């Protein structure tokens, strides 16, 4: 099950609704293929679906740009089989730098994310619902 919330800054007007975790549509590669948007990832999913011993990890998370601190709420997908692997990737929409390979997990609830706008305050997280 996933959770949703709102990140906000006390110093400036920054706020962003965010989603974390998984739902029923994340339980197998066939279901992921139905909604996954990036074309490269869709092609990779198709290649891995029929491979033996394929494992995957897929969930919504937050990517934080190391350059400008932009926060991207998007899907993490990693697929691994005996002979190959694939991990999706993103470029920062603000500064075009490569985003980290994996979303942050622990920093979100512990108040360690910097505000991407004013860069003077840590963001607060207010969880407001579960989603599936």
Q: Average pLDDT of the chain?
A: 92
The domain segmentation of the chain, as residue ranges, is: 2-131
Q: What would the mean pLDDT of 20-49 be, rounded to a whole number?
A: 95
Residue with tokens 């999706």: 88
- 53-102 pLDDT, tens digit per residue, is 999 999 999 999 999 999 999 999 999 999 999 999 999 999 999 999 99
Query: How far apart are the C-alpha atoms of 49 and 34, rounded to whole Å?
Result: 13
Is residue 67 within a helix (H) or strand (E), and if so which, with residue range? none
Rounded to two decimals, the pTM is 0.90
Give 132's DSSP letter.
-
Task: With cut-offs at 50, 70 and 90, classify the pLDDT of residue 109.
Answer: low
> Token pair of 101, please?
């390979």
């Amino acid at each position: 099950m996933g959770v949703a919330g709102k990140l906000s800054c006390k110093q400036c007007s920054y706020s962003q609704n965010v989603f974390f975790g998984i739902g029923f549509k994340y339980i197998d590669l066939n279901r992921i293929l139905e909604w996954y948007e990036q074309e490269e990832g869709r092609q990779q999913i198709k290649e891995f679906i029929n491979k033996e011993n394929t494992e995957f990890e897929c969930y919504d998370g937050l990517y934080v740009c190391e350059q400008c601190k932009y926060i991207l709420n998007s899907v993490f997908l990693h697929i691994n089989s005996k002979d190959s692997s694939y991990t999706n990737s993103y470029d920062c929409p603000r500064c075009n730098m490569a985003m980290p390979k994996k979303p942050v997990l622990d920093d979100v609830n512990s108040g360690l994310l910097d505000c991407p706008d004013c860069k003077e305050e840590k963001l607060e997280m207010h969880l407001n619902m579960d989603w599936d």
